[in-house]
Structure 1
Amino acid sequence: MRSQGDTNGAGPTSRRTLLAAAGGLTAGLVGTAGCLGTADEVRVLAAGSLAAAFENGVGPAFETDAEFGYAGEYYGTNAVLRLVVDGTKHPDVVIGADVALLRDRLYPDHVDWDATFAANEVVVAYEPTTTLGERLAAGEPWYDVFADADDGEIAISDPDVDPLGYRALLLFELAEREHGLEGFRAAMADRVAHVADEPRLLAGLENGDRACAVAYRNMATERDAAVRRLDDAYNFGSRTRADRYAQASYTTERGHTVTGSPVVYNATVPADADDPDAGRAFVSFLLENEALLTDHGLRVDDDVPRFHGDPPEGISP
């Protein structure tokens, strides 16, 4: 059986390793590929940015409400989808942080419907005691601060396995256009450090290894990190700016080209789920309990849930 380390560095985080995600998320134990959960549990394979919200909120509440336990694993969305496509895992629920990416990779062979249920935005998290952090706290433009950073002072997640990683690079490109910063994306791409495991992205701020990180807003909220919010023109948080975001693109090392898009999460139950009844019960619960998401820094807009394809009986608008 292949170990979890075989997913190009996109390490998993499970309930056993997320003992205190909101106050100091640490990762230790690693599961084994193909062995997600046990009987009478819903097995959820989800984007890494949802780890704390699901382990500390959604999962426990679902266990209290339903007849199933909860077993979650979290990776960058590219890695999540690859595990499903490759047949390495057969989860009951798949959740991604890029709507188009999930549909491109899983339709029509693995799924024929999905539901969008929450949104997010990209922010700059920082450690206020660092030089860069002091400048951000003083109100200097974030792009001027980033331009003066040393190699490795700023962290992003791995753009080849995680939408947050490539959104960071697209952020640099869109900011370059917005503010006339010639060569900004290329310079930042050479300067930032890549963190393979999204749930560990902000740990570098806490242990003194990094000054800043490009993160999702909910991740910074969970870790109580100092945050510089970004303009809607490039924070991937505005659905009305979707056309603008799509002007930037990134091609992964595997040759897959992605374009910028708003940060929206979608969930589905794969056709080969081990327990589709558990999967449908979890998705229904997720759609009906938006406070569990907003309490953990996610945004639930008035126009969700939205469905693509025909959801099964019991999951409806």
Structure 2
Amino acid sequence: MVSNGTEASCSRRSVLAAVGTGIAGGVAGCLDSSASVSVLAAGSLAQTVEHHVGPAFESETDTAVHGEYYGSNALLRMVEDRMKTPDVVVSADATLLRDRLYDEYVSGDVEFATNVLGICYAPSTELGERLDAGEPWYEPVRDADDGAVAITEPDLDPLGYRALLAFELAERKHGLDGFRDTVGEAVYREPEEPQLLAGVAAGNRAAAISYRNMAVDHDLPFRSFPPAYNFADPAYADDYATVSFVTDDGYEVVGRPIVYNAAIPDDADNPDAAESLVSFLATSPSLLETAGLSVPEPYPQTAGAEPGVDL
């Protein structure tokens, strides 16, 4: 899971002990009550941060969380181009963050959660009715009208390129000749990840390829893809790695398990609050799971030399 030759280290227990020190030692008492921390995060975490992590962190520390949310590839480009200078960066693809930001912008990160890829749908539509009737997901998706199914824009967002990679793996597994190309051309590509499920929730779009937590956010039905292509099972990592996608700026993405990670830029305006927020993410598994994410062993775990984490 760790690129650039960096090995993730520290067990779940030791990381919790290390990063938990700040909170257990009374973070609220050492941060200014007027303080805030700026977060540039993956769009799939918009509701998680706004309705779960942010309020809980502010209650714990008297520090407000100000978030902006984009596809991870897009937001990492913003950091590279100095268009955004957040205190904390959160990516839905840990390797992508390391490839783009290590050395020049950040010195380490904390992996804190995973997710599951699948299809979220409107039950009142024909596609939804067929899914509820037990049909394999790919049959109604293949039959759907152009634009009835949405993915996020693959050049901007890991969710988008994971959807295309899942189509290719499903094509191989189920013998669906031409499925990736046919469906990949027919889907609507949403450029704003936080808006992916708006059309589904309104009944204007039949379905979207999404993460489980996003379906939880919108209280919509969700069917997880099989482990062979839901990018949630490390046991399938070698199979995931047999498919790839090249973004418009030439970055080649190889299929890999979904891992969220957080990093603190070296030039963060409020590094103390940033360290506290990353610690909070790493020590709040129940909060993240309530939001629809997964926090299995060995998370949290660290890579590099993240500030505030004693490796």
TM-score surpassing 0.5? yes
| Aligned match for 1:136, one of 116, 122, 131 | 131
The one-letter code sitting in structure 1 at the alignment partner of 2:216 is T
Give the equivalent residue in structure 2 for 1:25. none
Distance 1:89 1:273 in 2: 11
Cα distance per residue 1:16-55 (max 9 Å; x no partner)? xxxxxxxxxxxxxxxxxxxxxxx72111110011111110
Distance 2:134 2:225 in 1: 12
Give the equivalent residue in structure 2 for 1:110. 105
Deviation at 1:311, TM superposition (A): 2.5
Q: What is the CA RMSD across the aligned residues, in angstroms?
A: 1.1
| Aligned match for 1:124, one of 94, 119, 123 | 119
Q: Does 1:188 align with 2:186?
A: no
Distance 1:224 1:236 in 2: 22
Give the equivalent residue in structure 2 for 1:156. 151
Give the equivalent residue in structure 2 for 1:175. 170
Give the equivalent residue in structure 2 for 1:293. 288
| Aligned match for 2:222, one of 227, 231, 239 | 227
Deviation at 1:269, TM superposition (A): 0.4
The one-letter code sitting in structure 1 at the alignment partner of 2:183 is M
Distance 2:95 2:105 in 1: 15
| Aligned match for 2:86, one of 78, 88, 91 | 91
Deviation at 1:124, TM superposition (A): 0.4
Distance 2:103 2:164 in 1: 29
CA contact (8 A) 2:149 2:187 kept: yes
TM-score, normalised with respect to structure 2: 0.87
Deviation at 1:61, TM superposition (A): 0.9
Give the equivalent residue in structure 2 for 1:315. 309
Unpaired runs of 5+ residues, structure 2, are 1-33
The one-letter code sitting in structure 1 at the alignment partner of 2:70 is Y
Distance 1:71 1:285 in 2: 15
The one-letter code sitting in structure 2 at the alignment partner of 1:315 is V
Give the equivalent residue in structure 2 for 1:255. 250
Distance 1:301 1:290 in 2: 9
Write the mapping of 1:38-77 to structure 2, written as runs, cut at 5 A.
40-77=35-72
Distance 1:135 1:113 in 2: 46
Deviation at 1:316, TM superposition (A): 3.7
Task: Count the aligned residue pairs.
Answer: 278
Write the mapping of 1:261-272 to structure 2, written as runs, cut at 5 A.
261-272=256-267
Runs of 4+ in 1 over 4 A off after TM superposition: none
Distance 2:90 2:130 in 1: 37
Give the equivalent residue in structure 2 for 1:246. 241
CA contact (8 A) 2:264 2:306 kept: no
Distance 2:121 2:177 in 1: 24
Distance 1:144 1:284 in 2: 44
Give the equivalent residue in structure 1 for 2:20. none
CA contact (8 A) 2:122 2:207 kept: yes
TM-score, normalised with respect to structure 1: 0.86
Unpaired runs of 5+ residues, structure 1, are 1-38
Bigger RCO of structures 1 and 2 (CA < 8 A, at least 6 apart): 2
Distance 1:298 1:316 in 2: 25
Give the equivalent residue in structure 2 for 1:100. 95
Q: Does 1:197 align with 2:216?
A: no
Give the equivalent residue in structure 2 for 1:31. none
Distance 2:194 2:62 in 1: 28
Deviation at 1:104, TM superposition (A): 0.3
The one-letter code sitting in structure 1 at the alignment partner of 2:39 is V
Distance 1:62 1:309 in 2: 25
CA contact (8 A) 2:91 2:97 kept: yes
Deviation at 1:310, TM superposition (A): 2.1
Cα distance per residue 1:224-281 (max 9 Å; x no partner)? 1111221000001111111111111111122221111111100010111111111111
Q: Does 1:236 align with 2:227?
A: no
Distance 1:231 1:96 in 2: 24
